[in-house]
Amino acid sequence: MFYNKLSGDTHLLGSTSAKILLELQQSPSNAPFLVEALAPRLQAEMLTHEEFSFQIEHLLDELNTLGLIEFS
Amino acid sequence: MNVSALTPSELKFRLKKTGIFLRTGSFITHLQTSIPGVSESVGLLYADYSLAEQADFADFHVSLTRPLNLRRWFKPQALFSFDGNTIFKPLPLDQAFPMLEWGLNWCVSNHVNHCLIIHAAVVEKGGYAAIMPAPPGSGKSTLCAALVNRGWRLLSDELALVRVGDGKLIPLPRPVSLKNESIEIIRRYEPNAIFSRKVADTIKGTVAHMKASTDSVARASEVAKVAWVVFPKYKAGATACLETLSQSRAFMRVADNSFNYSLLGLNGFKTMTSLIDASLCYDFTYSKLDDAIEIFSALKPQT
């Protein structure tokens, strides 16, 4: 569960989205770095690198739409 | 002094003249009315409630009056006022007591923000409370009425008050609102239960209110610890079934049933988090009350 103090909205996020947010909470990052950092933790070996990258980019777009992250 | 210390005519006189300062849970309501049916129902269902001194602070000042219009003579009506302001459209005079109950719920759900308020019944046994959030028609109040007639303490049949800060449940034991078939079901289930007169053709159909037990009213200042969040669903012919629900799903569903979750902001989130963390969460389908009682009796709190 995530609470956005700026919007007052509560979000129920999947585990991959939650890990992205926690990673970004540590420091700003980019999609390729997140893919490298999260692949081992999310046991992404069942996916190709492209599939996992696509998934991360898609989730980043969704998190941005929800106002939980900001692209710069 | 309890309401029962007043004779019916004294109660009627007081309600008409100065009003009464009625303690319901942690709230005091200053109630005035000259409508005889309301006075009778208050005398019947609120007999065990204590009266505060006239000069005491009141959380809510409410009155039920008869509007001074032509309908006074033809299809008379009742009007609910809060702090002297009319809140709802008038209803037929016959519906004055249900209107009072609905109005009192409105007073709490719209003004009490030191608690997270959830549209839910709350019952307690052995120091552990079950919150039952559910939309109208799910059988929440029927199940609640059955449980409180089988040894559970009533905290509320309508409004769960979760104290911001420590997550404790604040009791608000008031009459249990039953409608349509549920009225006779509970009458048969507990022939000693005390009911207000049935009122037909309300917005909810036929309604009647069941008196809260004397014990529940006497323990109205005793807060409770939540142990379970149960989403009840009556389904004709269904075998009683308790299914585990993930805490995250339960969180969102309880939030959907809350009156002031968003209003409380971060405090609402923190209160809801501590509530769900302390609870085992279930979906519960039932058709027979005895089966439901048995399943609730077997509930164990988190270790």
Q: Which pLDDT does position A50 carry in this prediction?
A: 87
Nearest alpha carbon to residue B189 among B35, B292, B84, B79: B292
Q: Which pLDDT does position A40 carry in this prediction?
A: 81
Question: Would you call B251 and A5 a contact, using CB atoms and an 8 Å cutoff?
Answer: no
Nearest to A5 among B251, B266, B273 (CB): B266
Residues contacting residue B231 through CB under 8 Å, at least 6 positions apart: B132, B133, B134, B138, B245, B250, B253, B282, B283, B284
The mean of the pLDDT values for chain B is 94
Contact between B176 and B145 (Cβ < 8 Å): yes
Contact between B207 and B179 (Cβ < 8 Å): yes
| Rounded average pLDDT over B2-15 | 96
Q: Tell me the shortest Cα–Cα distance from B222 to chain A, in angstroms.
A: 31
Nearest to B262 among A1, A5, A8 (CB): A8
Strand pairing class (B115-125; B128-133): antiparallel
A1 contacts chain B (CB < 8 A): yes
Nearest to B266 among A1, A3, A12 (CB): A3
Q: Report the amino acid identity of residue B164.
A: V
* pLDDT tens sequence across B112-126: 999 999 999 999 999
Phi, psi of A9 (to 5 degrees): -90, 150
Strand partners, B258: B118
Q: How many CB atoms lie within 10 A of CB B261?
A: 21
Please give the angle made by the CA atoms of B190, B36 and B155, to the nearest 5 degrees.
40
| Rounded average pLDDT over B16-23 | 95
Query: Which residue has tokens 């009459």?
Result: B175
Phi, psi of B179 (to 5 degrees): -135, 155
ipTM, two decimals, is 0.76
Nearest alpha carbon to residue B71 among B97, B54, B89: B89
* pLDDT tens sequence across B71-100: 666 788 999 999 999 989 999 999 999 999
A71 contacts chain B (CB < 8 A): no
* pLDDT tens sequence across A19-47: 999 999 999 999 999 998 888 887 766 77
Report percent pLDDT > 70 for chain B: 98
B256 contacts chain A (CB < 8 A): no
Give B-chain residues touching A8 at CB under 8 angstroms: 262, 265
Q: Which pLDDT does position B294 carry in this prediction?
A: 97
Question: Would you call A1 and B249 a contact, using CB atoms and an 8 Å cutoff?
Answer: no
Residue among B269, B276, B277 with most chain A CBs within 10 A, to mutate? B269
Where does the pLDDT of residue B67 fall: very low under 50, low under 70, confident under 90, or very high at 90 and above?
confident
Alpha helix stretches (DSSP H) within chain A:
15-26, 31-38, 49-65
Q: Is A58 exposed, middle or buried (0-12, 13-18, 19+ CB in 10 A)?
A: exposed
Query: Which residue has tokens 């289930």?
Result: B189
A12 contacts chain B (CB < 8 A): yes
| Rounded average pLDDT over B36-63 | 92
pLDDT over 80 (residue B255): yes
Where does the pLDDT of residue B56 fall: very low under 50, low under 70, confident under 90, or very high at 90 and above?
confident
Strand pairing class (B280-286; B241-244): antiparallel
Q: Tell me the shortest Cα–Cα distance from B163 to chain A, in angstroms.
A: 19
pLDDT over 70 (residue B70): no
Rounded distance, CA A61 to CA A66, Å? 9
Give A-chain residues touching B255 at CB under 8 angstroms: 10
What separation in angstroms does the CA of B60 have from each of B21, B45, B103, B105?
9, 19, 10, 11
* pLDDT tens sequence across B196-235: 999 999 999 999 999 999 999 999 999 999 999 999 999 9
Question: Rounded to an integer, what is the distance from CA B96 to the centroid of its chain?
Answer: 17
